Amino acid sequence: EPEVTQTPSHQVTQMGQEVILRCVPISNHLYFYWYRQILGQKVEFLVSFYNNEISEKSEIFDDQFSVERPDGSNFTLKIRSTKLEDSAMYFCASRTGVMNTEAFFGQGTRLTVV
């Protein structure tokens, strides 16, 4: 069964450093997403990506964040200069684009900023 894969599963980084979280969405899906879950809080939408550009972003997704699909299979989330409050579980998801169908999620990357 096709699945969304994320690497690494856990990343520890120092405050101020850049991190790149990687995702391989399901191959025939058209819409890609990043969500995050700060410990003890709800899962929050960060950004959606379609046709090689951002289609929607939340207010959380400020200039420190960027996404790209560099090679047609990987989908990455970059945090330019990490802050302590960026510590969270980051989930990648993809959808086919058919209305009202589910998103398929990866296993998540736990980012710890120290």
Partner 1 sequence: AQSVTQLGSHVSVSEGALVLLRCNYSSSVPPYLFWYVQYPNQGLQLLLKYTSAATLVKGINGFEAEFKKSETSFHLTKPSAHMSDAAEYFCAVSDQLSFGNEKLTFGTGTRLTIIP
SS3 84: helix
Residues 49-78 that bind partner 1 (CB under 8 A): 50, 55-56
Among 28, 42, 63, 70, binds partner 1 (CB under 8 A): 42
Pick the stretch among 12-20, 31-39, 62-70, 74-82 that binds partner 1 (CB under 8 A): 31-39
Instruction: Report residue 88 as tokens.
Output: 């969270």
Dmax over Cα atoms in the chain, in whole Å? 41
Indicate the burial class of 35 (C-beta count within 10 angstroms; 0-12, 13-18, 19 or more): buried
Please tell me whether residue 26 binds partner 1 under the rule CB under 8 A. no
* Candidate residues 12, 15, 30, 38; the one interacting with partner 1 per rule CB under 8 A: 30
Pick the closest to residue 106 from 95, 82, 49 (CA basis): 95
Per CB under 8 A, residues contacting partner 1 are 4, 6, 30-31, 33, 35, 41-45, 48, 50, 55-56, 91, 93, 95, 97-100, 102-108
